[in-house]
Structure 1
Amino acid sequence: MASDKDPLAWETVDSDVAYHCPGFDVRNENVRLPDGTETDFDYITEPESVVVLPFTEDGDVVIIEEWRQAVSRVSRGLPVGGVEPDDGDLAAAARRELIEETGYETDRVSHLTTVEPANGYADSVHHYFVAYDCTPTGEQDLDHNESIRSATTTMDELREEIAEDGVYDGRTVLGVLYYDSFSE
C-alpha cells in the first residue's frame, strides 16, 4: 500500500461530485502528478459491496438471474449488494444480501477474499464470502430497480458454464475461480 510520501503518489488539489445517481457517483478531481503537472481525473465512487458464493445444505450453489440494463440481457451470477451502514459488519451484509436477492438464508458465512475490481477508474471494493447450509425462506426483498430470480445449480455445472463462456459476470467468475484455487 503506497503512502502519500510515495514518489508515485498524486496530490489531490480539489475534489467534487460531478454526477450523482442512485448507487454511485462520478467524482472529478484536480490532481498534481509527481512531475508537478496538474490535470483532471474522473472516477466512479460507490459503497463497498459483498459477493456471496452460497451453498445449500445439499451442496448446490444458489445463483441469481438478473436483468442488466447496461448489457441488455439477463446475467447469471452470484448475489451481490452494497454494504449498508446498519449492517454491523461485512458478514452481516453478506447474510442480508443473500436473503434479499435469493430468498435463502444462513447463519454461517466465511470471508474468502477482498478485491478492487476496477481501481483504474473506480474505488469499488468487493468482499467475497462463502455461505454454507443455505435454506430457502421463500421471500426475496428486492430493491425497486432489481429484476431477479434465484435458482440453484451444481458447482460442476457452474464451472462448466464459466468455462464455456456462458457466465460473463466478472464477480461470479472471480468468486468461483478463487474458491476453487484457494479454499479448503
Structure 2
Amino acid sequence: MELQDTPQEWRVTATETPFQGKKTGVRTDDVVMPDGTVARRDYQVHPGSVAVVALDAEDRVLLVKQYRHPVRQKLWEVPAGLLDVPGENPLHAARRELYEEAHVKAEDWRVLTDFYTSPGGSDEAVRIFLARDLAEAEGERFEVAEEEADMETARVPLADLVRGVLAGDLHNSCLVNGVLALAAARAGDGLDALRPAEAPWPARPFEA
C-alpha cells in the first residue's frame, strides 16, 4: 500500500457560485458518483493560507492571541495569513505574516507540514513553515486594525504547547498541526531533515 494522497477529479455536470465574498466564496457542484448518481456538494472556495511556527533559541514558540468571531473566543495562534495573490510564493507570504503580526524576521526556513483544513467542506490548503534564527525586524511596525489591534503576543515553551494541545486547551488548527508536527519531527529524523522552504506544493502551485 502506498501511503500517499492521490489526485482525482470526478465529473461535474453543473456548477454555480451562490455567494462570493471579499476573499472567499461558496460553490455548488453537481458531482457524478461512482454508481452514476449525481450528488450536490457545497463548499467554500478559499485562496489558501500560510502559517509560521517561529522557534527561538530558548525553545519557545512565538504566539499571537486574537479574537475569532465565528467561534466567539480569543485563540492562541501562530502567525498566519491568506495567500493574497494567485500563485503567490508561500514563503514570501509567510515572511510577510511573521513581520506584520510579530515584527520578527527569521534566517532559517523549512516546510513543517501541509494540510487541508476541512476537505469535506472547503478547498482551503495550508502550508506551515518552521522558522528559526529569529531576530527583531528592521523598520517601523506594521499598522494593525480591527481584530489585530487587540492582538497579544507571547513566547511559550514548546513542551507547554504540546501539553496544552493534548489537554484540549488550545484549538487553533495551525497551532495544533504545527506544534505536533514540530514535536514529531524532533522525535523522528530531526528538524534538518524537513523539506526545504521552496518545496513544491501541488495544492497551491507557485513560482519560485
TM-score by length of 1: 0.86
In structure 1, the residue matched to 2:8 is 3
CA drift at 1:136:
2.9
* Change in CA separation of 1:47 and 1:142 when aligned onto 2, cut-off 3 Å: farther
| Number of residues of Structure 1 aligned to a counterpart in Structure 2 | 179
* Change in CA separation of 1:31 and 1:143 when aligned onto 2, cut-off 3 Å: farther
Residues 48-67 of structure 1 mapped to structure 2, 5 A cutoff:
48-67=48-67
Q: Which of 160, 166, 169 is the equivalent residue of 2:163?
A: 160
* Change in CA separation of 1:21 and 1:143 when aligned onto 2, cut-off 3 Å: farther
In structure 2, the residue matched to 1:33 is 33
* Change in CA separation of 1:43 and 1:36 when aligned onto 2, cut-off 3 Å: same
Residues 74-153 of structure 1 mapped to structure 2, 5 A cutoff:
74-85=74-85, 88-137=88-137, 139-142=141-144, 144=146, 146=148, 147-153=150-156
In structure 2, the residue matched to 1:7 is none
Consecutive unaligned residues of structure 2, counting only runs of 5 or more, are 1-5, 191-208
CA drift at 1:154:
1.5
CA drift at 1:141:
4.3
What is the alpha-carbon root mean square deviation over aligned residues?
Answer: 2.2
Aligned-partner Cα distance in 2 for 1:160–1:101: 25
Query: Residue 109 of structure 1 contacts residue 132 of structure 1 at CA under 8 Å; is this kept in 2?
Result: yes
Query: Residue 47 of structure 2 contacts residue 86 of structure 2 at CA under 8 Å; is this kept in 1?
Result: no
TM-score by length of 2: 0.77
CA drift at 1:85:
2.3
CA drift at 1:168:
1.2
The AA in structure 1 aligned to 2:69 is Q
* Change in CA separation of 1:142 and 1:30 when aligned onto 2, cut-off 3 Å: farther
* Change in CA separation of 1:98 and 1:74 when aligned onto 2, cut-off 3 Å: same
The AA in structure 2 aligned to 1:150 is T
Aligned-partner Cα distance in 2 for 1:66–1:126: 19
Query: Residue 91 of structure 1 contacts residue 111 of structure 1 at CA under 8 Å; is this kept in 2?
Result: no
CA drift at 1:46:
0.5
Aligned-partner Cα distance in 1 for 2:79–2:101: 6
The AA in structure 2 aligned to 1:129 is F
Query: Residue 75 of structure 2 contacts residue 170 of structure 2 at CA under 8 Å; is this kept in 1?
Result: yes
SS class of match (1:106) = strand
Consecutive unaligned residues of structure 1, counting only runs of 5 or more, are 5-9
Decide which moves more: 127-136 or 61-70. Answer: 127-136
* Change in CA separation of 1:65 and 1:91 when aligned onto 2, cut-off 3 Å: same
